[in-house]
Amino acid sequence: MSDKNILYIEDNFHNRRIVRKILTSRGYHMIEAEDGETGLEMVRKSRPLLLLLDITLPGELDGMDVVAIMKSDTNLKHIPVIALTASAMMGDKERFLAGGCDDYLSKPIRASELLEKVDYYFSLAQNASEGQTL
């Protein structure tokens, strides 16, 4: 399995396809889930170096539930989480960051912004997993 794994939890197929196309062109390997429950199971199983997360998800766990569970788990709390969401009202970004997300991008996403943030957080996560100081 690739060492450039990114998990994207997103229920909208078209959003997943766009993000997959952008990131695989940069050499990242995408793992995808359509809901919070499946996504959380995949985080535990695959231990990606980065998580991209929609906030509004079907099922019992929304994106904020996933982040809360991850950040309370010592084996998962180090994984950076970037919220990719259509929630762009005043105060949403601050709420997501306070809830445990490391960063935020509003939809529709711009490829250049996505790549900039993914490259940055992936590099930090990769350095941390190799034992380097940040």
**Domain for residue 134, yes or no?**
no
Can you give the residue range of the structural domain that contains 86? 5-129
* CATH number, position 26: 3.40.50.2300
pLDDT category at 51 given cuts 50, 70, 90 is very high
If you average pLDDT over residues 70-78, what whole number do you get?
A: 95
- For the entire predicted model, the pTM comes to 0.91
Per-residue pLDDT, 134: 42
Cis upstream peptide for 108 (omega within 30°) = yes
Give the SS3 label for residue 121.
helix
Domain count, the chain: 1
Residue 113 lies in a domain: yes
Q: Find out whether 105 and 117 touch, Cβ atoms under 8 Å.
A: yes
